[in-house]
């Protein structure tokens, strides 16, 4: 972390006392640290302690009442390599999620140009409240990296999830960020994600349970490493915003194929995560089908295999990764797909594992490489697996 500029935002939670240790760890590694404190945080830890340890003045107000000097939040927002807000209270989280900027810290967040990390800390019921979950999801979609709270003893006397991650682990998280940052700079990545919807008539469709979480997490991980990403997304509830991200929303397999065909040749890496419907109705009625007979037969026709098309057109310089979701004999089927679709690697997730697959935040995968070598990963969050998958791909470009 030598020479890295860290802007540390401190808000008013009891975990603020741990920030003294966190600053010591940063300084030990010769990082430069500047701190912004919310007025409430000064009740939990003294600005004098923070100023002494960070070896810099502490910023609290928009302007200094003694000499009338204005603190420029725009300059502060441009200064760091990383803006870390720890601990982050439910109150400041809500402000960040809505763009409310009533103090120097929240105003600087809106001006920040660097990667933002947040380490929430609050009592367990506040942490578990749907409002908090929604606010965290919002920041996640804006590209903020969340260092989730941990379980343990809380200041209230209760035991549960809400403790700020320990300073050592926060430092580790930043180490990983700095290690990978820009490791994919200049690479162009095309990703398909989510389900496809195949219209039966104007109000009905054939779809599947894919949420798009895995594909979006992979897109985010590539963006964090400096890549340029085209995300071709079927209908999902997810959003992702980043200056290097282009999102093309599609509905059906044919539409997804069209966007892939228009773009694949100008991309270097393809990650095909989408759960594309294998079949679509042969006729898409223009009027709603009326309820009449006891039985109704729909005739389906096979959809194009988008990944197989990309594999067929693949140039030597391109890297193509597909996914295989199987309910049985997963590895055997995946091997066959790897060869038949001309892939460089395939990620296998089996619905046989608890906590893996559609809708879950976790997944259990294996990656099979071109030489049929298998790497198994334990059950992890989709975000962590996205890191593993992107790290796996990046090794092919070393």
If the CB atoms of residues 160 and 304 are measured against ligand C5P, the closer one turns out to be 304
The answer to whether the CB of 362 falls within 8 A of the CB of 327 is no
If the CB atoms of residues 58 and 276 are measured against ligand C5P, the closer one turns out to be 276
Choosing from 56, 137, 208, 254, the catalytic residue is 208
180 burial (CB, 10 Å; 0-12 / 13-18 / 19+) is: middle
If the CB atoms of residues 87 and 234 are measured against ligand C5P, the closer one turns out to be 234
35 binds ligand C5P (CB under 6 A): no
54 binds ligand C5P (CB under 6 A): no
Number of residues that bind ligand C5P (CB under 6 A): 15
Task: Quote the least distance from Cβ 298 to ligand C5P, whole Å.
Answer: 18
- C-alpha to C-alpha distances, 117 to 9, 211, 328, 367, 392, nearest whole angstrom: 10, 25, 40, 29, 24
End-to-end CA distance of the chain: 23
31 binds ligand C5P (CB under 6 A): no
345 binds ligand C5P (CB under 6 A): no
208 is an active site residue: yes
Stretch that binds ligand C5P, among 6-14, 58-66, 139-147, 267-275 (CB under 6 A): 267-275
What token pair was written down for 284? 């898409």
If the CB atoms of residues 213 and 337 are measured against ligand C5P, the closer one turns out to be 337
Among 22, 139, 164, 306, binds ligand C5P (CB under 6 A): 306
CA distance 107 to 101: 5
Among 13, 167, 322, 357, binds ligand C5P (CB under 6 A): 322
303 binds ligand C5P (CB under 6 A): yes
CA distance 340 to 334: 10
If the CB atoms of residues 245 and 330 are measured against ligand C5P, the closer one turns out to be 330
Among 54, 92, 192, 252, binds ligand C5P (CB under 6 A): 192
Comparing CA positions, the residue from 149, 147, 146, 70 lying closest to residue 107 is 70
CA distance 327 to 221: 28
- C-alpha to C-alpha distances, 173 to 35, 170, 375, nearest whole angstrom: 19, 5, 24
389 binds ligand C5P (CB under 6 A): no
Task: Quote the least distance from Cβ 286 to ligand C5P, whole Å.
Answer: 25
Task: Quote the least distance from Cβ 197 to ligand C5P, whole Å.
Answer: 13
Q: Site residues for ligand C5P, window 194-253 (CB under 6 A)?
A: 253
324 binds ligand C5P (CB under 6 A): yes
Stretch that binds ligand C5P, among 10-18, 122-130, 305-313, 365-373 (CB under 6 A): 305-313
368 binds ligand C5P (CB under 6 A): no
Interface residues with ligand C5P (CB under 6 A) are: 192, 253, 272-274, 276, 303-307, 322-324, 337
């Amino acid at each position: 972390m030598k020479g890295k500029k860290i802007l540390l935002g401190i808000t008013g939670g009891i975990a603020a006392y741990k920030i003294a240790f966190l600053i010591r760890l940063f300084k030990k590694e010769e990082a430069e640290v500047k701190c912004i404190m919310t007025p409430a945080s000064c009740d939990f830890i003294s600005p004098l302690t923070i100023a002494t340890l960070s070896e810099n003045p502490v910023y609290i107000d928009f302007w200094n009442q003694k000499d009338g000097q204005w603190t420029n939040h725009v300059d502060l927002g441009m200064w760091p390599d990383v803006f870390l807000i720890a601990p982050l209270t439910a109150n400041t989280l809500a402000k960040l999620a809505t763009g409310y900027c009533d103090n120097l810290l929240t105003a600087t967040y809106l001006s920040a140009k660097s990667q933002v990390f947040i380490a929430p800390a609050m009592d367990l019921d506040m942490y578990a409240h749907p409002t908090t979950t929604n606010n965290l999801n919002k920041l996640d979609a804006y590209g903020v990296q969340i260092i989730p709270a941990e379980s343990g003893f809380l200041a209230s006397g209760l035991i549960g999830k809400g403790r700020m991650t320990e300073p050592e682990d926060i430092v580790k998280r930043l180490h990983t960020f700095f290690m990978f940052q820009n490791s994919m700079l200049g690479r162009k990545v095309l990703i398909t994600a989510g389900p496809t919807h195949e219209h039966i008539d104007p109000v009905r469709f054939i779809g599947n349970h894919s949420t798009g979480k895995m594909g979006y997490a992979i897109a985010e991980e590539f963006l964090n490493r400096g890549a340029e990403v085209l995300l071709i997304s079927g209908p999902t509830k997810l959003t992702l915003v980043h200056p290097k991200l282009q999102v093309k929303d599609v509905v059906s397999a044919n539409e997804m194929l069209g966007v892939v065909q228009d773009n694949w040749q100008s991309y270097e890496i393809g990650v095909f995560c989408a759960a594309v419907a294998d079949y679509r109705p042969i006729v898409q009625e223009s009027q709603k089908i009326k309820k009449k007979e006891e039985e109704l037969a729909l005739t389906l026709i096979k959809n194009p295999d988008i990944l197989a098309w990309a594999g067929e057109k693949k140039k030597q310089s391109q890297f193509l990764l597909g996914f295989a979701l199987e309910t049985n004999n997963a590895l055997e089927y995946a091997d066959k797909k790897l060869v038949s679709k001309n892939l460089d690697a395939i990620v296998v997730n089996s619905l046989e594992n608890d906590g893996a697959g559609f809708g879950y935040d976790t997944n259990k995968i294996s990656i099979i490489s071109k030489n049929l070598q298998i790497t198994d990963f334990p059950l992890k969050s989709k975000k962590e697996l996205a890191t593993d998958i992107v790290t796996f791909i990046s090794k092919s470009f070393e």
